[in-house]
Structure 1
């Protein structure tokens, strides 16, 4: 039986194989977070309108769109939410195990732009020293800023 399956698999190469794999495997949204720092080492935090009122502060974050490379998601989300331009850096976090979501985080460096927040999603944007984060900062984001991750 295994040999028959292998032969059939080899016969359906190309787009049909991809279609079969797509139907057979789980689909996930990918949440991408940017640990954005300026040249002084301060970190950018946003006060998010739609997050719990007791934990509204966090890093710029959003979902990757189809075909988008994750470092470019950081660039896009920061620009959309703040008007700032960033250069993505190294990958600092990957976590799966959620029902329909995978989370990734990248370091990012401020390279330009003018602060102009998206008033729909974001209430406020501020730069903070990593050891002086505001009350109500998401714990997982605090750990990312400290260079640790919540396992």
Structure 2
């Protein structure tokens, strides 16, 4: 993706000879394997996903932040972790946790608290989290939250 964005920018210069395409976007790439319950993740400058464990504990995945996509063909380091059955993974944009004049760590703490509140369904938790985050600190940036509850595949016991 990094190479593609750079190529696109070079192919479309504006009248001044500079790129007319905004270069640089954050991205978090995650692949979940339901057979092993393992999730591999890599970050291109994107905030780390939050993992809600079955007991309600919220932790942020320790994903090394690489440079944003389009900055310049660098290596991205991935990490792999096992997700317990019943876990929820929360992917979000920085607009949910960052505001002008407010530290990102404060936003992450607020997100951790909002995700820890029990809700009967993921769509209800999602709506409650966004409401809690935006009501106390409106964002001038995009705000996106995606919650997913990955499930392991049932293993065949054999004949």
User: Would the TM-score normalized by the shorter structure come out above 0.5?
Assistant: no
Q: TM-score, normalised by structure 2?
A: 0.24
* Larger RCO of the pair (alpha carbons < 8 Å, separation 6+): 1
Q: Which has the larger radius of gyration?
A: 1
Q: TM-score, normalised by structure 1?
A: 0.25
